[in-house]
Each structure stands twice: as structure tokens, then as C-alpha cells.
Copies of this chain bind each other. A is one copy, B any other.
Amino acid sequence: MQLFYQPDIMKGSHFLTEEESKHCIKVLRHSVGDTLDVVDGSGAKFKVRITEAHAKKTLFDVISHQRKEELPYYIHIGIAPTKQIERTEWFLEKAIEIGVDEISFFFGRHSERKNINLERMQKKAVSAMKQSLKYQLPIIKLYQDLPSLISHVPEKQSKYIGYVDFDNPLQLKEAAQAKENSIVLIGPEGDFNEEELKLALSKGFKKVGLGQSRLRTETAGLVACHTLNLINS
């Protein structure tokens, strides 16, 4: 199945963007009368029929739509972008494939990378969503530092911080519960510094391990995401 993306379909935008139109008409060679599946990234999928097969702005009529089932849990990963940005893009793609509701990037005190192209990440997210046949695009945000991310975490979210600490036997697998609205923070290559850890603990975050292995930042993010999915599956 091939999905197309039009975020404003509910607001009456019954056309494909230039990029999507080109792919639809030039590459897949669709024509008037063909039906397509279009998602809006907010949890709805539409069956539409092409009324004008234009390679820059394909028009369509909506035939029917369905909403994705509301899930009883919410997975939020707060992660510091990696030095090699491909690793963060990889995390983003894989997390969306496996299932994630929100990704918050932040620059840690030990982060070597102090910038990220959020627009590029959004684009990557759209293709990952389409590829994995999902209707919902995760919320993707950027915070300049950990305190600013933490100040935006809702009180009712269960809060975890991935931290390698051999004195602390608590694993995310044991700490997290099914049907939780939860956030896991993953530090940069140089990990969180003491101040950041202290702040998180003072704001109700629990330190958790992510298994027995030393993991890179992007692997830790994915492992946290998959662990929460498994607990809820």
C-alpha cells in the first residue's frame, strides 16, 4: 500500500502538494478516477479519488475516511542529537516505525552537537510514517537545553531518565507500566552532567537502566521506545 500525506485535508485542502503530486502522477503514473490513500498525520486516513491528475497539484474528492484507534498509552522520548546527525535520523525513522507519539530534542551540557535542522527531521518523519503505514505523525520539538524541556513535561507524565549507574538496579522494563503516558530522557554521547541529573531527579524523574549493554545515544533511544511498546503490546 502507498500512502500520501496532506495535513490539511480536514480543513478542505483536497489536493496533493507539489512533491506528492509529482510522485503520484509522474512516478506512480496515477490518473483521473484512480483511488488513493491519504493520511493527515493526525490519526485519520482518507480514501480519495483523483479528479485532476496534475503533476504539480493533483486534485481529489474524498470518498470516505477512518480514524486510527486511540491508544491507551503515550510514548515520549527526549533525546540529545548525536554528533553524527545520521544516527539521530536513524533513531527518528526507527522510532516511528516501531511507534512513538512525541520526540523532543534537546542540547545537553555535554552535547558535542549544538544544532539540528528541525525541518529536515519533520520531512524524515513524514516518509517514515508513510513507509510504515501509520496515520499519525509524532510531535517533534526542539528545546535549547534540558531544563527547558523538563519545564514543558506535563505533570501527569511518568518520568524516566536513562542513566548508566551500577548502584541503581532499576530497569525501565520494571519501572514502566502499561497504559502510561511516559517520557524517557536519553543523554548525549558524554551523558548527562551531574547538574542535569540532579534537576531531573528533583522534578520527579526516576533513573532507569536500559539493559546490560553500553548503548550509543541513538540505540538507547530506540531501546527505550521499543521497551515501552512491548510493555503496552
Binding site for B on A (CB under 8 A): 90, 94, 97-99, 131-134, 171, 173, 211-216, 219, 222-223, 226-227, 229-230, 233
Residue contacts A-B, CB under 8 angstroms, 16 given: A90-B90, A94-B219, A94-B222, A97-B213, A98-B215, A98-B219, A98-B223, A99-B211, A99-B213, A171-B233, A173-B230, A173-B233, A211-B230, A211-B233, A227-B230, A230-B230
Look across to chain B and name the residue whose beta carbon is closest to the beta carbon of A99: B213
A42 to chain B, nearest CB (A): 18
A107 to chain B, nearest CB (A): 23
B residues less than 8 Å from A171 (CB atoms): 233
B residues less than 8 Å from A90 (CB atoms): 90
* A132 close to B213 (CB less than 8 A): yes
* B132 close to A215 (CB less than 8 A): yes
A124 to chain B, nearest CB (A): 14
Q: How many copies does the complex hold?
A: 2
* A214 close to B98 (CB less than 8 A): no
B residues less than 8 Å from A98 (CB atoms): 211, 213, 215, 219, 223
**Bound complex: CA A124 to CA B98 (Å):** 25
B residues less than 8 Å from A226 (CB atoms): 223, 226-227
B residues less than 8 Å from A212 (CB atoms): 99, 233
B residues less than 8 Å from A229 (CB atoms): 211
A86 to chain B, nearest CB (A): 10
B residues less than 8 Å from A216 (CB atoms): 97, 131-132
B residues less than 8 Å from A173 (CB atoms): 230, 233
Q: Which of A97, A99, A215, A227 has the most CB of B within 10 A?
A: A97
B residues less than 8 Å from A227 (CB atoms): 226, 230
Known interface pairs A97-B214, A173-B230; 10 further A-B residue pairs with C-beta atoms within 8 A, sorted by A's residue number: A90-B90, A94-B222, A97-B213, A97-B215, A98-B213, A98-B219, A171-B233, A211-B229, A222-B222, A226-B227
Look across to chain B and name the residue whose beta carbon is closest to the beta carbon of A227: B230
With A171-B233, A230-B227, A230-B230 known to touch, is A213 a contact of B134 (CB < 8 Å)?
yes
